[in-house]
Amino acid sequence: MARLAGGRRWLPRLPILDWGRRYDRATLMEDGVAALIVTVMLIPQSLAYALLAGLPPEVGLYASVAPLLLYAVFGSSRVLAVGPVAVVSLMTAAAIGQSAQAGSAAYWTAAITLAFLSGAMLLLMGLLKLGFLANFLSHPVISGFISASGLLIAISQLKSLMGVKAEGDNALDLLLALLHQAPDTHLVTLGIGVVTAAFLFWVRRGLNPLLRGWGLGRLAADVVAKAAPVAAIAITTGLTWAFGWHTQGVKIVGSIPQGLPPLTMPSWDLALWQQLWMPALLISIVGFVESVSVGQTLAARRRQRIEPDQELVALGACNLSASFTGGFPVTGSFGRSAVNSDAGAKTPAAGAYTALGITLVTLFLTPALFFLPQATLAATIIVAVLSLVDFGIFKRTWAYSKPDFAAVAATLVATLALGVESGLVVGVGVSLALYVYRTSRPHIAQVGLVRGTEHFRNVLRHKVAQSPRLVSLRVDESLYFANARALEDRVNEAVASHPQLQHLVLLCSAINHIDASALESLEAIEQRLHDAGARLHLSEVKGPVMDRLLRTTFLRHLSGQVFLTHYQAVVALTPEVVGVPAAAAD
């Protein structure tokens, strides 16, 4: 592998070289069975998610071939299934809806360009080892965003279920439009959609146990259960053809081109790039976070690990390949990845076999989908996305952390009210604002010695030994510009409430960083204590923090000392607290 001087790799790794050399016939069989199950599951989902993105259904099939092949080469997860997913499809529609008319050639070109930009961003972030950027999306924000997106997607599909036209940029507009169009509901279409949705909901919970109860093996029962959406497609397509429902107003998919995914090129129009770069960045981050979360969860079950920076490279390659083969942005799917893992996939080769299966579908089976009702695909989407909605997060975060609850609520409400992009930005903004607010009000505890030990605890929570001549303050946060004034105020309060104060010790065990503003505050604290006839001391200062302090004049002007442990500080300054005679302490 090519490396720079010093051993730093400048070309991406190829994980296929790791697992590929140990590939054998048994692994081939297990990957093949898993690929069969995932292919059956992916066919209806790829068609449905393409329509959700405002694209022709075949684009979903195109987006399910090359990305799977590229992930098999670059991906670090053994079971992650890459392809179209609901949330990214919705974000795609929101991103390019203002640039072109849905269904037009310009709209498809914009989707291809969006995939290219997203792929380039992901690849660049991977090469620069920027996987840590995903940490700015907290779990509450992601949970609120995905739950809101699931609701928004389900609401947006009700128009296809009802056979009416309803447009809107947010949940309220969509619901009002649906309510206005309710009298025009096409009953046959509604019947197809409702029955299909009910069938799919039942299949998710009831079919597998029923088949197992009849004596069918676990694997066979799983295959049959996962094939249920395909069965729904086959049945509703056959009934539409047999009874001529399409002549009665039922909207069908229509002609789907046969053949391999086409070779395409993104647009090089800079004006279009200016419109799409921010949505592409948001799609990249959301897709990466979702993919890595799924990959890490499934890898932990098998005592494996994934590499986030390598995943950035892999997802970048996947999206670039989608842009050159007529697709749209893709990422790892939780549902299909979990099925892939449960079905026994051992390596990413299972994804390559799934790509082969989708290729065969595009070559030979697309004419059979001509009479497929769009209501069937809408029902498939609704059933799939409602599983993403997690209202339990509200109860859990309310009980544990009110700021996290606020982040979840703000993200969900903003996404439903303003749209997916604005909702995500609001969620990140609220999370960062809450973080700054929390850290600007750090927990600063006055501590005392637990008798008979060398441990110090909060005087408000424990019976501890203290001296009126010494105040020990434990700062449970790094010190920076937003909370430096809070430390000054706490020290001033301690000085005012302890008239016999001679020593104030800052216990720094939880301080990982002190910025320039905080250093100025420490200098101000030192001066005020000196004017009050007291001395400032530090204890348990971490090495990196001490290194920075040594580069300043603060320690040279410090009236007190820097102690290795807080116990040493108490013994030296107030030996009576620990029962040590003063002479012995000296």
Query: Among 300, 309, 298, which residue's Cα sits nearest to residue 350?
Result: 298
- Within-domain flag for 38: yes
* Domain end position, chosen among 398, 432, 466: 432
Burial of 367 (0-12, 13-18, 19+ CB in 10 A): exposed
| Banded model confidence at residue 4, pLDDT cuts 50, 70, 90 | very low
* Residues linked to residue 448 through DSSP beta bridges, in sequence order: 457
| pLDDT score, position 343 | 74
Q: Is 536 helix (H, G, I), strand (E, B) or coil?
A: strand
| Banded model confidence at residue 12, pLDDT cuts 50, 70, 90 | low
Same domain, 409 and 542: no
Q: Can you read off the two tokens belonging to residue 154?
A: 């389900």
pLDDT at position 304 over 80: no
| pLDDT score, position 554 | 93
| pLDDT score, position 436 | 86
Question: What angle do the packed helices 308-323 and 66-74 form, to 10 degrees?
Answer: 150
pLDDT in tens, 34-46: 888 888 888 888 9
- CA gap 68, 354 in Å, rounded: 8
Same domain, 504 and 370: no
Residues 316-340 have a mean pLDDT of: 91
| pLDDT score, position 445 | 94
Burial of 157 (0-12, 13-18, 19+ CB in 10 A): buried
Domain count, the chain: 2
Same domain, 326 and 282: yes
* Domain end position, chosen among 381, 400, 432: 432
Q: What is the dihedral of CA 131, 132, 133, 138, to 10 degrees?
A: 120
Same domain, 384 and 513: no
* Domain end position, chosen among 385, 408, 432: 432
More confident residue, 6 or 354: 354
Domain of residue 460: give its range: 444-585
CB 95 within 8 A of CB 53: no
- Within-domain flag for 526: yes
Same domain, 105 and 176: yes
Same domain, 99 and 226: yes
Same domain, 103 and 223: yes
Same domain, 311 and 380: yes
**Concatenated DSSP letters for 22-36?**
T--HHHHHHHHHHHH
Q: Can you read off the two tokens belonging to residue 123?
A: 């690849």
Same domain, 349 and 473: no
Q: Which of 217-226, 250-259, 469-478 has the weakest average pLDDT? A: 217-226
pLDDT at position 586 over 60: no
Q: What is the dihedral of CA 136, 351, 114, 164, to 10 degrees?
A: -100
pLDDT in tens, 162-172: 988 888 778 88
- Within-domain flag for 14: no
The proportion of the chain whose per-residue pLDDT surpasses 90, expressed as a percent, equals 52
What does pLDDT average to over the chain? 88
* Residues linked to residue 465 through DSSP beta bridges, in sequence order: 449
pLDDT at position 468 over 80: yes
Same domain, 379 and 478: no
Q: Which of 64-78, 132-146, 226-240, 402-416 has the weakest average pLDDT? A: 132-146
DSSP state of 504: E
Same domain, 358 and 419: yes
CB 426 within 8 A of CB 407: no
Residues 397-409 have a mean pLDDT of: 89
- CA gap 253, 261 in Å, rounded: 18
- Within-domain flag for 209: yes
Q: Which of 110-124, 137-151, 211-225, 488-502 has the weakest average pLDDT? A: 211-225
| Banded model confidence at residue 10, pLDDT cuts 50, 70, 90 | low
- Within-domain flag for 19: no
- Within-domain flag for 120: yes
- Within-domain flag for 148: yes
Residues 380-386 have a mean pLDDT of: 86
* Residues linked to residue 471 through DSSP beta bridges, in sequence order: 504
Same domain, 177 and 250: yes
More confident residue, 398 or 338: 398
Q: Is 501 helix (H, G, I), strand (E, B) or coil?
A: coil
- Within-domain flag for 12: no
CATH code where residue 481 lies? 3.30.750.24
Q: Which of 98-102, 276-280, 565-569 has the weakest average pLDDT? A: 98-102
| pLDDT score, position 1 | 42
